Amino acid sequence: MSTPHIAAERGQIAETVLMGGDPLRMKFIAENYLENVVCYSSVRNCLGFTGTYKGVPVSVQAHGMGMPSMGIYSWELMKEFGCENLIRIGTTGSIREDTKIGDVIFSLASSTDSNWQDQYKIHGHYAPCCDFGLLRKAVEAAEKRGIPYRVGNTVAEDVFYNVNPEVHESWERMGCLCVEMEAAALYMNAAYLGRRALALFTVSDEIKTGKRATVEEREHGFTNMIEIGLEAAFSL
């Protein structure tokens, strides 16, 4: 029962899926952390793999960049393939001086400048948030490993190269920790479909200082975030 974007049969994808924008990061996780790995989809090079982590079935699926792309892959995974738990492991840009490259952030809620919620005909402003059970598992995994982390409101933006240099000041003033481009769509899809979702980030860019992680670090580094996501999946 392949979908337009995922070439798999029902049952080939685990109930718990780790998702990331970069297909090569998903390939890296599959090759270095999972056993008995099978590539179930390579459509558009948004690679998907299923294997086992400590004996527990886990899938990893690339979702591309931006809320439209995340919306497609998360919807198909939950609606068409019956996946119950989606954990995004991705990079983010810090908008605070006390949040540095390599820091791990758990997205408690995802503010956004997107009109994604308009499709639901909500008479107000919806606040998409993570699943507390998944968040608790991630916190437990981080603390067990002694990995520092922060939990708070994050921002999902539609624009990567924003011409307004002051765009992040209001978000910082409201206590938001960082910006990325997918979590709000993931959280809203999960809420609508009655599934569970969590977004974990590693800071790859310091927006205030201009510091950036290398391409290699983005693809193969940030193992703390990966291991937290896998341990959360294992303990469900």
Q: Is 16 helix (H, G, I), strand (E, B) or coil?
A: strand
Closest CA to 156 of 214, 230, 49, 74: 74
Are the C-beta atoms of residues 232 and 87 closer than 8 Å to each other? yes
Are the C-beta atoms of residues 230 and 56 closer than 8 Å to each other? no
Q: What is the residue whose two structure tokens read 């056993």?
A: 35
Question: Catalytic amino acids?
Answer: 205
Q: What b/e readout covers 96-110, taking b as 16+ CB neighbours within 10 angstroms?
A: beebebebbbbbbbb
